[in-house]
Amino acid sequence: MRLKGGQFKLSCKEAVELLEALGWPVQNEALYQEALTHSSYAYEQESLGSNERLEFLGDAVLELVISEYFFKAFLHDSEGKLSLMRHNVVNEKSLAQIAREINLGTYLKLGKGEMQSGGAEKSSVLADALEALIGALFLDLGYQAASSLIIALFKPILAAVERGDIPLLDYKTMLQETCQSRIGKNPVYRITAEFGPPHDKTFQAVVKLDNKVIGTGMGKSKKDAEQSAAQAAWESLEF
């Protein structure tokens, strides 16, 4: 790999070397070139496509594979528990960690500004690129190949979740972290109503983002009501 004019120049040969080092039998090299092309580089080159569409596809494939894994591994757990486990695996932090382990940042094509600001080490850039690679592999070799790779890459964290080594984040924490990382704002909770006698109250809570209600929930305590509202918001919003 050569550095020229502040940009990484990635040849097809180098892209293939990366993929083959990870055990991927490449058929359509162009897909992987696109997966490694950040939007900043595509903008500078004008004629090139970025990895954003492949990232969109890879995100969906990744969620499906991890959902299927937990669905089969935990036959008696509720939908809510499975959803929490999946989020503790499929998130920016874990994606970026895996991307660093396979040195993915070394192969990314970044624009000059993104390169100078340390884009190759940014968690968001790395996480998006890994999802794009998954999307490329899915299109190139199909679901089974993508599934096999995902399980192999995520095996340590999947095992940790199964053993209970990683405490599961609750919905309020998940919603806060996601809102903060994606739009830089925190959700706000408010108890809006109380029902029932003093010894057996039920509370209603709402959660707002940008002063807009994004979830409503009920619970036997204020804390439970807020968790319920956070879950409703989490399940209704597309992050």
Whether the CB-CB separation of 47 and 132 falls below 8 Å is answered with: no
As a whole number, mean pLDDT of residues 17-34 equals 77
Q: Of residues 34, 55, 59, 226, which has the active-site annotation?
A: 59
What residue segments make up the domains of the chain, in order of their start? 12-163, 171-236
Q: What SS3 class is residue 80?
A: helix
In percent, how much of the chain has pLDDT > 70?
89
| Residue 233 one-letter amino acid | A
Sheet containing strand 188-195, edge to edge, reads: 188-195, 202-209, 212-219
Determine whether 29 is exposed, middle or buried from the number of CB atoms within 10 Å of its CB (0-12, 13-18, 19+). Answer: middle
Active site residue 59: yes
As its CATH architecture, domain 171-236 has 2-Layer Sandwich (3.30)
Q: Are 57 and 41 in contact (CB under 8 A)?
A: no
> In the predicted model, is pLDDT for residue 9 greater than 60?
no
Domain covering 12-163 in this structure, CATH number? 1.10.1520.10
Residue 72 C-beta-side C-alpha neighbours within 13 Å: 6
Which amino acid is located at 70 in the chain? F
For residue 35, give every residue at least 6 positions away whose Cβ sits within 8 Å of its Cβ, in sequence order, or none: 51, 54, 58, 129, 132, 133, 135, 136
Q: Is residue 131 annotated as a catalytic residue, yes or no?
A: yes
Q: What is the token pair recorded at 129?
A: 């690129």
Distance CA 203, CA 220 (A): 6
Task: Say which DSSP state 199 is in.
Answer: T
Do 12-163 and 171-236 share a fold? no
Judge contact between 154 and 94, C-beta under 8 A.
Answer: yes
Q: Using one digit for the tens of pLDDT, what is the confidence trace for 113-151?
A: 787 788 788 888 999 999 999 999 999 999 998 998 899
Q: Which of 34, 114, 128, 131 is catalytic?
A: 131
User: pTM higher than 0.85, yes or no?
Assistant: no
For 141-187, how does the pLDDT look when each residue is reduced to its tens digit (9 = 90+)?
999 989 988 998 999 999 998 888 877 778 898 899 888 877 889 99
Rounded mean pLDDT, 88-114: 88
Token digits of residue 135: 């999307």
Residue 31 CB contacts under 8 Å (≥ 6 apart), including other chains: 54, 136, 139, 140
Tokens coding 168: 């599961």
Q: What is the pLDDT of residues 36-52, one digit of tens each?
A: 998 888 888 876 788 99
